[in-house]
């Protein structure tokens, strides 16, 4: 995408700034964007050994179900 200068740059914790060139934009460092839209993090991937959240039913895959065991009396 072609950017016209001067242009605004936005950061999550810093005040917005106007830059005059691509070099100025790159000199700001990481975390700067040409959009004021918040960056949305993707949800964390659950670990297989993590406990299930309360109220969520967890079904064991067919390949992991015990085979050939008798129920305990």
Rounded mean pLDDT for each run of 10 residues along the chain, 73 residues in total: 88 93 94 81 74 70 64 66
Tell me how far apart the alpha carbons of residues 10 and 22 are, in angstroms, rounded to a whole number.
Answer: 14
The pLDDT score that the predictor gives to residue 50 is 72
Residue 30 phi/psi, 5-degree rounding, is -70, 155
The pLDDT score that the predictor gives to residue 24 is 95
Residue 19 falls within a domain, yes or no? yes
Residue 21 falls within a domain, yes or no? yes
Residue 17 falls within a domain, yes or no? yes
CA dihedral 27, 38, 8, 20 (to 10 degrees): 20
Residue of 23, 28, 1, 48 whose CA lies nearest to 9: 28
The pLDDT score that the predictor gives to residue 43 is 74
Residue 8 falls within a domain, yes or no? yes
Residue 16 falls within a domain, yes or no? yes
Residue 60 falls within a domain, yes or no? no
Residue 68 falls within a domain, yes or no? no
Residue 64 falls within a domain, yes or no? no
Total of domains in the chain: 1
* Residue 13 belongs to domain spanning: 1-28
């Amino acid at each position: 995408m072609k950017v016209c200068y001067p242009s605004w740059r936005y950061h999550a914790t810093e005040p917005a700034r106007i830059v005059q060139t691509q070099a100025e934009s790159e000199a700001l460092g990481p975390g700067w964007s040409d959009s004021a839209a918040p960056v949305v993090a993707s949800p964390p991937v659950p670990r297989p050994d993590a406990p299930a959240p309360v109220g969520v039913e967890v079904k064991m895959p067919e390949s992991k179900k015990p085979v050939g065991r008798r129920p305990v009396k």
